[in-house]
Structures are given as structure tokens and as C-alpha cells.
């Protein structure tokens, strides 16, 4: 049997390695095909992840590129459907990860051709439908047959949405598998020395959510807060292309570059970023993946979101939701510096073996479709 495994955007590339290895180890009757939709295409956003994480070259590249929400999702749906119709051997299932437009586009194309969908990182809900990712999550889960969840809230949400208990499996967090296996390689690169930073004496800041960067006033407030915080701790700021475009348009990029305590950089490679986050005093971010990585690394995380689809990072982990409240943000950075910030613990099954559990579930699912009981 062939399972087509879809990646498109940066966080997908990180998650796919353990999944492919897990399937190889635990599902010997399953062959995989790696499909890259081309949602992300710059070297820094895509190829550098393939190189560093040892991902195989994609079997198929759909080259969809950037676009409006509907336009990009439609292009992904259309090009994946064409590939499914034209390929030599039709896959028996499509496996998608996360919540990006590539996830929902390929899930829709697949299910419309009666090819079942397996969703890794299913069930996460922010309950905020202004986020494109929330729509992607809800739709993908509604049409997926096997739902592999990373934290217990995923199961609860899916049960409430009427999914059957048998279709849901708690496998843990594949992104943390990668973190655990790559930490030594990341540390060996020694990005701190290259950037003139000292362990535990700097902040790492990332943001790219439309709700934070598309509104000029909001972005200005964050840049002001960053300048203020950088007086307390140097700030490393790897800048996503969406954010960079907006900063340049608003004339804020020059302000950042002129501030010696802010190190604004191009997007970093996986190893460089992990090397930096693992030794940071605090992480300030709107990224779902970084919230989880901060929890696994036990590093304080100030999350620039009003809500999170990953509640375990707040309930058990090191994250606090700050939303748009820059006053609270500065106060919490003070708390971190004075070591008054809450402690966290690493969630169960974020243990480096989630990919193997995914592989085992894929094997059982494929076997059950061959021999329905």
C-alpha cells in the first residue's frame, strides 16, 4: 500500500521526518510518497529544513506558491487532485499534518476521490475562527478517518464534534521527537558565539500571525515593546517574510536595524533556531510550534495570542497567554528576569517516540482497511 504524505509549509517539514521513519519502522507493508505542495518555497523556509533534518527529496512537487487564502487552498486542492488522478499507482491513503492550507487542500482533494485521510496533530482547537488555521483544523478533522492527537484536549474536542472514539489515537508530539534528536547538533553549531550572546541572557522573539502583523498599529505597539524589552535583555528576532514585508512597508525595519540590542535576522534554519531557543532566558512568540518547544525545553514562553489551540502548554507547560497586552508582556519579562515565573512540566508522550506510535497506528489502519472485521 502507498500512503501519500503531504508537506507544504515550514512546520510541516519539521514534523514529517519522525512520521516517515515511524512508518518505515512500524508499517513494513506501507510505502510512502512525499508530496511537497510548494506553499513555502524559499531556501530558508523550505530546502534548509530538508537538508538539516535529513528528509528525503519530495517524490512530487506541486509548486503552488503564495496567494490569497482561497486562491492558495484552491491551487493546492486542484494540483493534488490532478496528481492523484494521473499518478501511476493511486495511494491507499493521504497523510496530512498540522493546520496549514496544504493540510486542508490535500485532505479535501483526497477525500473527494474516496481516498481516506489520516490527520497527524488532529483535534487542536483555538475556537477562534478568525484564524485561517482553525478553519483548516475543523475542516480537515471533519473529513479525516484516522485522527492522531498530540495532547489529550485533541481527543476531547473531537469527541464533542461527534468523532468516534475508535478513530482517535493519542500518539504524542512528533515535533518534540525532532527537538530531542536534534538538540546536540543544534548546540554544536554554537549560534550564541556567532551572535555574541550569553546563555540565559537574551530573549528570542518570533511573530508572523496575521492578527499580530497585518494591523499596522498592533505591529507598531509590538515593535515599541520589543525596543523596551531589549533594554532589559538583548532580543534575537528572526523575521518571517510576511512580517518583514509589513515592517518594511511601515518603515519600521530601519528602526529595528538601528537598535543595537535587537538582532533582527532572516528566518533561521532549524538548528540555528533550536540552538538559540534552548539557551534563551525567555521566548516571546505567536508560533504554535515554539509554544510546544518552549514547554519541552522548560523555557518560559510569553505567547502573543489571545487563545491557544495547545492548552497543555499553558496548563502544564511554560506558556502564558499575553495577547496584545504589551504592558503585561513587559511585566512578565521582568518576572522572568527575577525568576518569579511559573515552572512547567513536559506533557506525557512528548518523549521522542511519537513518530513510532504514528507509524504503528498507520499500520493498524491500513491493515483494517484491507481486512475489515
Point out the residues that are catalytic: 208
Among 3, 4, 10, 332, binds ligand UD1 (CB under 6 A): 10
Residue 40 near ligand UD1 by CB under 6 A: yes
Q: Looking at residue 366, what DSSP letter applies?
A: H
Regarding 146 and contact with ligand UD1 (CB under 6 A), the answer is no
Burial class (CB in 10 A: 0-12, 13-18, 19+), 39: buried
Cα angle value 336/341/343 (rounded, 5°): 130
Task: CB nearer to ligand UD1: give 40 or 357.
Answer: 40
Sequence-ordered list of residues with C-beta below 8 angstroms from that of 366, at least 6 positions apart, any chain: 1, 3, 27, 29, 30, 92, 93
Of 11, 22, 234, 359, which lies in the binding site for ligand UD1, with binding defined by CB under 6 A? 11
Contact with ligand UD1 (CB under 6 A) among 241, 330, 337, 346: 241
Position of cell 498599529? Answer: 217
Pick one of 1, 24, 33, 41: the residue that binds ligand UD1 (CB under 6 A).
41
- We find the least distance from the C-beta atom of residue 121 to ligand UD1, in angstroms, to be 12
* Interactions with ligand UD1, residue window 177-236 (CB under 6 A): 208
- Using CB under 6 A as the binding rule, the residues of this chain from 300 to 359 that contact ligand UD1 are none
Whole-angstrom distance, CA of residue 187 vs CA of residue 179: 11
* CB-nearer residue toward ligand UD1: 66 or 90: 66
Closest to ligand UD1 by CB, 38 or 355: 38
Residues 78-137 that bind ligand UD1 (CB under 6 A): 99-101, 132-133
Task: Report d(CA 236, CA 262) in Å as an integer.
Answer: 6
How many residues of this chain bind ligand UD1 (CB under 6 A)?
A: 21
Whole-angstrom distance, CA of residue 122 vs CA of residue 96 = 10
The single residue listed with the C-alpha cell 554554537 is: 190
By CB under 6 A, name the one of 7, 9, 178, 349 that touches ligand UD1. 9
208 vs 281, beta carbon nearer ligand UD1: 208
Q: In angstroms, what is the minimal distance from the CB of 372 to ligand UD1?
A: 34
Task: Round to whole Å and give the CA distance between 96 and 110.
Answer: 10
Pick from 31, 33, 45, 221 the residue near ligand UD1 by CB under 6 A. 45
- Choose one: 35-43, 52-60, 224-232, 246-254; the region binding ligand UD1 (CB under 6 A): 35-43
Binding flag, residue 64, ligand UD1 (CB under 6 A): no
96: Cα within 13 Å, side-chain hemisphere: 34
Q: Contacts for 260-265 with beta carbons within 8 Å, 24 or more apart? A: 261/230, 261/231, 261/234, 261/235, 262/226, 262/227, 262/230, 262/234, 262/235, 262/237, 263/195, 263/234, 263/235, 263/236, 263/237, 264/237, 264/239, 265/236, 265/237, 265/238, 265/239
Nearer to ligand UD1, 206 or 259 (CB): 206
Among the listed residues 55, 32, 10, the one whose alpha carbon sits nearest the alpha carbon of residue 358: 32
**Nearest-approach distance from CB 68 to ligand UD1, in angstroms:** 9
The β-bridge relationship of strands 146-149 and 168-170 is parallel
Which CB atom, from 242 or from 324, has the smaller least distance to ligand UD1?
242
Which residues of the chain form contacts with ligand UD1 (CB under 6 A)? Answer: 9-11, 39-42, 45-46, 66, 72, 99-101, 132-133, 208, 240-242, 245
Amino acid at each position: 500500500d502507498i500512503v501519500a504524505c503531504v508537506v507544504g509549509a515550514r512546520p510541516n517539514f519539521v514534523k514529517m521526518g519522525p512520521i516517515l521513519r515511524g512508518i518505515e519502522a512500524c508499517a513494513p507493508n506501507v510505502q510512502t510518497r512525499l508530496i511537497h505542495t510548494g506553499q513555502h518555497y524559499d531556501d530558508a523556509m523550505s530546502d534548509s529544513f530538508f537538508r538539516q533534518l535529513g528528509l528525503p527529496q519530495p517524490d512530487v512537487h506541486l509548486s503552488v506558491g503564495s496567494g490569497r487564502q482561497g486562491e492558495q487552498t484552491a491551487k493546492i486542492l486542484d494540483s493534488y487532485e490532478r496528481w492523484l488522478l494521473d499518478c501511476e499507482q493511486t495511494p491507499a491513503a493521504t497523510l496530512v499534518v498540522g493546520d496549514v492550507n496544504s493540510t486542508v487542500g490535500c485532505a479535501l482533494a483526497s477525500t473527494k476521490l474516496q481516498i481516506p485521510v489520516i490527520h497527524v496533530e488532529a483535534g487542536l482547537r483555538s475556537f477562534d475562527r478568525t484564524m485561517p488555521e482553525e478553519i483548516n483544523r475543523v475542516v480537515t478533522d471533519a473529513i479525516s478517518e484516522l485522527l492522531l492527537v498530540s495532547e489529550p484536549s485533541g481527543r476531547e474536542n473531537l469527541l464533542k464534534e461527534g468523532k468516534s472514539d475508535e478513530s482517535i489515537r493519542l500518539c504524542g508530539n512528533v515535533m518534540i521527537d525532532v527537538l530531542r534528536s536534534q538538540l546536540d547538533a543544534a548546540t554544536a553549531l554554537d549560534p550564541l558565539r556567532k551572535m555574541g550572546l550569553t546563555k540565559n541572557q537574551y530573549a528570542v522573539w518570533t511573530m508572523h500571525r496575521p492578527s499580530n502583523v497585518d494591523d499596522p498599529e498592533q505591529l507598531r505597539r509590538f515593535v515599541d515593546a520589543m525596543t523596551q524589552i531589549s533594554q532589559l535583555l538583548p532580543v534575537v528576532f528572526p523575521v518571517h517574510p510576511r512580517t518583514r514585508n509589513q515592517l518594511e512597508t511601515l518603515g519600521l525595519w530601519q528602526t529595528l536595524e538601528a537598535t543595537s540590542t535587537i538582532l533582527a535576522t532572516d528566518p533561521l534554519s532549524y538548528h540555528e533556531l533550536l540552538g538559540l531557543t534552548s539557551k534563551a532566558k525567555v521566548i516571546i512568540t505567536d508560533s504554535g510550534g515554539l509554544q510546544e518547544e518552549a514547554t519541552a525545553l522548560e523555557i518560559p514562553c510569553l505567547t502573543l495570542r489571545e487563545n491557544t489551540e495547545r492548552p497543555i502548554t499553558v496548563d502544564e507547560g511554560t506558556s502564558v497567554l499575553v495577547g496584545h497586552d504589551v504592558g503585561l508582556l513587559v511585566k512578565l519579562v521582568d518576572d522572568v528576569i527575577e525568576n518569579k515565573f511559573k515552572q512547567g512540566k513536559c506533557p506525557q508522550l512528548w518523549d521522542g517516540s511519537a513518530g513510532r506510535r504514528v507509524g504503528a497506528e498507520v499500520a493498524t489502519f491500513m491493515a483494517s482497511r484491507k481486512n475489515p472485521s
